[in-house]
Amino acid sequence: MPLPLRSLIISCVLALLGPLATAAAQPPATMGVSEIRTGMKGVGRTVWQGGKIETFQFEVLGLQKNFAPGRSLILVRASGGPLANTGILAGMSGSPCYIDGKLIGALSIGFAFEKEPIGGITPIGEMLDGLRDLTEAPSTRTPLILPRMEPPKVLKSALLGHMVPVSEILGTTEVPEGGQMLPIPVFGASTAPELQSLWAGLPLKPMGAVAAGTGTGEASPLEPGGMVAVNLVQGDLEMSASGTITYLSGKKVLCFGHQLFNLGAVDLPLWSASVAVCVPNYNSSFKLSQSVAPVGALRLDRSMGIAALLGAEPRMVPMRVGLNLGGRRNLNFKFELMDHPVVTPNLAAMVLAQTISTYVRGAGFQSLSLQGNIKLAGHPAIEIENMVADLNANRMAMYLGGILQVLTMNPWERPVVEGISLTVKAEERLDLTAISGVRTLKARVKRGQTLPVYVVLQNIQGVKETTTMNLFVPPSARPGKATLLVGDGFSLINADPDERAIDVSGLGDLVRMLNGGMRNNHAYALLVQTQPGAGLRGARIEGVPPTITAMLGADGDFNANRLQRQIISRGVLPLESEVRGLISMELEVE
């Protein structure tokens, strides 16, 4: 929704809930871990249905100290409400727990397949330590340094249509043996196996489209025990992570008792929420909830909980998807995505995959084509083009996500993504072309001349046609052996015809390489040569014996310094279909 309207809604919601929020904003007395003993009894606050805050009871079973460096956990057995049938519920994360009227912390840990409602409480002292880093202003756009993510490796992976799972970037958070952070129900998130791997290792429980979206139920009060939702995606698809408010102090709110992603400074919409029903589950029961209205912005995401500011407004990344269903019907969708270098690519991939799978049938012959762009502040737009000759929308989604990962996870600067605009066309046919043959008139070619390359293409019905691609052999080519490679973009990238190190020194270089990258709906002819000898930091060393060459590797890596294959001539044939195949042949340059 437009920002002025969103601001009006936030103001109205806060005005309506003002008395409740003001009354609850007085910080309660707290009890430290050192004061807690086994056998103590207390009461917790949470929402079972609608927006009404109710209570449950608990008994302290013990204290687990230093289960993570400097971190403790209060183990409890809970009772009351539906807990006898459900056990500890996903969505209870953040439920404030009190002993003698003093806040001891937030329920945050559960156990899969538990036979009793036993869980763990994050001490309030640890959560308050994290609150100190909450600032009024959103995080500054500082560079994101990810030394493990080598730009050339990520770039090649993206051009092959792959993504790096979030868990490989963020790692995992320690919990007691056998325990798990109460999974945060993420309604609207894709449950497709190919995309589920993107969330592996995180305390998120994708729930598909069940109860996703903005609800019309009773909004939970903005006070400890109230239900809130953090929107990862909003607009024509609502993807939200729901949990419970633990603590309020003025406009500052603490929730969950554990991380969302553990990203530190973030900027996300915080909404009031309503619970439709508590769903018992043998593995992990959960609350079925809905976002109701915007109330602020999440600004801090730490292992001990998340913190937000009431009345604040987040910045989101706009994304538009146009869907052309074979010319019979055109649909247009608008979304807003979480703005963060690590998570935005995954959300964009999920949104694209779910948009396609919702409106495109899931069986039979069909082709999907993708075109569009990603707009960056201060850089040329990145042109997106991809073709999928089957019904696997996830392949197309991974391609988009991989391109975004190259941009957002570069180590030089944090890009400002101004918008993502895409058009997907679904055709009721299988647009697939195979490269079935390649020939030249001569096996020897002279420098400074043009080499005609005859390429045999075959469609899915077996019909063949021959087309010609002309390669100019430059005068700078070295006399001797050369390799002719003819194939689709993805196969050629995987074959690595130009093994020289990718020379990238900034985001601008990555943008140029993405826009100049080979695509899977084009056929390419490449003439490749290998330079002999050895190289040292880019300079060629002539006449070095092989035994000495093997000793010149930097940091023990011989491949880093030897002179490698390079493309000396290139031809391109755009096709309106997905292209597959790779054929090579040897030539002699005179």
Q: What is the pLDDT of residues 521-569, one digit of tens each?
A: 999 999 998 865 444 333 333 343 443 334 334 333 444 444 567 888 9
Residue at 426: amino acid letter: A
Q: Is it the case that residue 581 has pLDDT exceeding 60?
A: yes
Residue 127 near residue 254 (C-beta atoms within 8 A): yes
- Our CA angle for 302, 345, 152, nearest 5°, is 105
Average pLDDT over residues 468-496: 90
Architecture of the domain defined by 1-135+182-313: Beta Barrel (2.40)
Domain boundaries, the chain: 1-135+182-313, 317-427, 432-589
Residue length, the chain?
590
Sign of CA pseudo-dihedral 345, 350, 356, 362: positive
Q: Give the distance, in angstroms, between the CA of residue 226 and the centroid of all CA atoms in the same chain.
A: 28
Task: Determine whether 212 is exposed, middle or buried from the number of CB atoms within 10 Å of its CB (0-12, 13-18, 19+).
Answer: buried
Q: What tokens does 500 get?
A: 């020289």
Task: Determine whether 512 is exposed, middle or buried from the number of CB atoms within 10 Å of its CB (0-12, 13-18, 19+).
Answer: middle
- The Cα 438–Cα 490 span in angstroms is 18
Average pLDDT over residues 41-46: 97
- The Cα 253–Cα 243 span in angstroms is 12
Lowest mean pLDDT among 196-205, 242-251, 316-325, 341-350: 196-205
- The Cα 53–Cα 259 span in angstroms is 23
Q: Is it the case that residue 21 has pLDDT exceeding 50?
A: no
Q: What tokens does 165 get?
A: 């799972």
Left if phi > 0, otherwise alpha if psi is -120 to 50, otherwise beta: which for 562? beta
Q: Is it the case that residue 324 has pLDDT exceeding 50?
A: yes
Average pLDDT over residues 117-145: 78
Sign of CA pseudo-dihedral 495, 500, 506, 509: negative
Assign 442 a pLDDT band (cuts: 50, 70, 90): confident
What value does the mean pLDDT of the chain take? 81
Residue at 530: amino acid letter: T
Q: Which pTM does this prediction carry?
A: 0.80
**Which of 210, 231, 213 has its CA nearest to residue 336?**
231
Q: What tokens does 285 get?
A: 């029961």
Residue at 578: amino acid letter: E
Assign 147 a pLDDT band (cuts: 50, 70, 90): very low
94-108, 214-228, 353-367: which is most confident: 94-108
- The Cα 241–Cα 540 span in angstroms is 55
Residue 460 near residue 445 (C-beta atoms within 8 A): no
Sign of CA pseudo-dihedral 338, 342, 347, 348: positive
